A and B are shown apart, each in its own frame.
Chain A
Amino acid sequence: MKKLINAADAVLAESLAGFGKAHADLVEVSQEPRYVIRRGGGRPGKVALVSGGGSGHEPMHAGFVGTGMLDAACPGEVFTSPTPDQMIVAAEAVDGGAGTLFIVKNYAGDVMNFEMAAEMLDGESATILTNDDVAVESSTHSQGRRGVAATVIVEKIVGAAAERGDDLAALKALGDRVNAASGTMGVALSSCTVPAAGRPTFDLGPDEIEMGVGIHGEPGRRRETIRPVDALVEDMFRAIQKEIAPEGEVLLLVNGMGGTPLLELYLVYEAVAKLCAKEGLTIARSLVGNYCTSLEMQGCSVTLTKLDAEMKTLWDAPVHTAALRW
C-alpha cells in the first residue's frame, strides 16, 4: 500500500483536522465525537440537515456542509457507518428548533445507526433514504438499492429548500421526490485500498472492469472486459433509462470515483450527451467532477435526475460549501 498517510488509524482524525483548517471560514470540526458543522451552528427556525456515512467518499459529506446545503455531517471510519452518538451531538449542535432531517444512503450500517440516533434524539426528526443505484435489481434483494451519487443532488436541492424556510414535512417530501427521480450506474476500472486493510478490496484483471460497482468497491452486475467508453456508457445509460424513464429535462451528473482524470470524465459526459440527444432529452443542468468517490478507485458513475421547475430553481440557488459553490 502506498498512500500519503502517517498511520492507518490516524487517517480520519488528521484528514478532518486539515479539512477544518482549510475551510475554517465555513465549518467547525469536532473530533470527539466526530462531526463537521456550519461555522456558527444552527439557525433559529430552520430545519437542520444532517448527513453522514463512512469516510472515503470525499468530498461527500463534509464537503457539502455550508450555506445552501448541509448543516452537519458525521464521518465514520473509512467505509464504515458513523455511530449514533456522533449523529445526536451533531444534530443538537445545529438544532434550530424546527426539527432535524437526516439524509442517509441506503446501506445496512448507515440505516441502522441513523435509526438508533433518530430514536434517541429529543425533538422531531425525519429521514430521507437515498437509493439511486440502479445496478442493484431490488426485486431479488430485500435490502433494496444502494444510495450513491444522487445523494449529492438530494442534499443540494433539499439544502436550498431548507435555506428558504421550508418545513420538515415539505423537505422530506421533496427529498423523496428528487431521490425517486434519480438513477445512477457506476463502473470500476480498478479497486481501492482501505488504509486499515492495507490491500485492495477486490481484484480486477488488467483488462477487466466491474459494471455496476458500488461506492465501497462492492460488486455490481457483472465482470467484463473493457470496451470503448461509448459502449460502456450506453449500457449504463440504458440501465438508468429502464428504471427512471427520463423525459424532457434532466440533470446529468458525471461523477469520478477518485482515480479517474477529468479528461476522461468529460469523455463520459460527451458519450451521455450524445445518447440524451438521440433520446430527445435536454440536459438542463449538469455537474462533472469527483463528488461521491471511492478512495482512489478508477471509474465513474452516471446519474440522471428528471427535473421539474422547482428542482431547477433550487439547484440554481446559491450554495457555499467546500466542494460546491455558486
Chain B
Amino acid sequence: MSTETIIKAAEAARAAIVANESEIEHLDRAIGDGDHFINIRRGADTIIALAPELDGKTPSEALKAIAMKLMSTIGGASGPLISSFFLAASKTEGIDAPWTAETVARLTEDGVAAIQKRGKAGLGHKTMLDVLIPVAEALKAGAAAGEDAAALGARVVETAAAGKDSTRDLTAHYGRAAFLGERAIGTVDPGAMSSYVIIRAIVEAR
C-alpha cells in the first residue's frame, strides 16, 4: 500500500462518480445548486492527471501535493473541505511506513477531523460528515479488533450506506440546502451520496 494505492482509489472514485452522475445531479438539483457532480469529478480528474508527478513520491508527499492541487482546482465548498482532508492525511502518524488497516483508519480519522474543523459542521447536519464520521469510527473499531480486509470492507460500506440514508430525514444546517429549511427533508444530501459512492468504490477496488 502506497502512492499507487492512492491513484488506484482515485480512479475507482472517478469511475463511480461518473456511473452515478444522474443520481448525484438529481439530488443536487433538488436541494443544492447543481455544481456538486462537476466539482467532485474535477477533483478526481485532477488527482488522476497528477499521477505522473506523484510517481516515486512517498505517501506524505503525494497526499500533500494532491491537497495543494485540489485546493486550486475544485473551488466551491468541496474544494477547501476535500483538500483539508488530504492535507491532514499527509501528516498522519506512520503514513510513510507500509500501510496497514490502522494506517487507513488513522488517516481517515485525521482527514475527517480536518473537514469538521474547516466546515464547522458535525453529525446530523445533513452533509458528507453524516457518512464520513461513522465510517472513520467503523474503520477505527474494525482495525482495532483486527478484522480481516473483507469484514472491514463490508462494515465500512454498510456504515456509509446507513449514514447516507440517515440524511434523508434531516434538515440541513450548512451549504445551500440549509436555505430550504423543512423542504430539504425527504432528499438524501448529495455530498453524503457522493461520499458513499466513492467509499464503496474504493472498498470494492481494494
Contact = CB atoms under 8 A, between A and B. Distances in A.
Query: Does A pair with B?
Result: yes
Interface of A: 33, 54, 76-86, 107-109, 112-113, 115-116, 135-136, 140-143, 146, 194, 196-197, 201-202, 214, 216-220
Given A78-B35, A197-B35, 18 more contacts: A77-B38, A77-B75, A77-B76, A79-B33, A80-B39, A82-B75, A83-B72, A83-B74, A107-B77, A107-B176, A108-B119, A108-B174, A109-B76, A112-B79, A112-B80, A116-B71, A194-B33, A197-B38
A8 to B, nearest CB: 10
B60 to A, nearest CB: 19
A197 B179 CA distance: 21
Nearest to A85: B72
A80 B76 contact: yes
A84 B77 contact: no
B29 interface: yes
Nearest to A78: B35
A76 B119 CA distance: 19
Interface size grouping (class) on chain B: 20 to 34
B76 A197 contact: no
A209 to B, nearest CB: 16
A173 to B, nearest CB: 25
**Which 6 residue pairs of A and B lie closest in terms of their CB atoms, listed nearest first?**
A109-B77, A112-B80, A85-B72, A80-B76, A109-B76, A108-B77
Interface string B14-52: 000000000001000100111100110000000000000
25 contacts: A33-B72, A54-B76, A77-B38, A79-B35, A80-B76, A83-B71, A83-B79, A84-B72, A84-B80, A85-B71, A108-B175, A108-B176, A109-B80, A112-B77, A112-B80, A113-B80, A116-B118, A136-B179, A140-B181, A141-B179, A142-B174, A196-B35, A197-B35, A217-B33, A218-B32
A81 B72 contact: no
Nearest to B32: A218
A202 B181 contact: no
Contact of A202 (B29, B35, B174): B29
A80 B72 contact: no
A76 B176 contact: no
Interface string B158-197: 0000000000000001111011110100000000000000
B75 A76 contact: yes
B81 interface: yes
B8 to A, nearest CB: 26
Contacts of A140: 181
B73 interface: yes
A218 B72 contact: no
Contacts of A214: 176, 179
Nearest to B118: A112
A82 B181 CA distance: 27
Contact of B173 (A143, A217, A220): A143
B179 A220 contact: yes
A217 B32 CA distance: 9
A112 B81 contact: yes
A112 B80 CA distance: 6
B31 to A, nearest CB: 8
A78 B76 CA distance: 10
Given A197-B25, A201-B33, A202-B29, A81 B178 contact: no
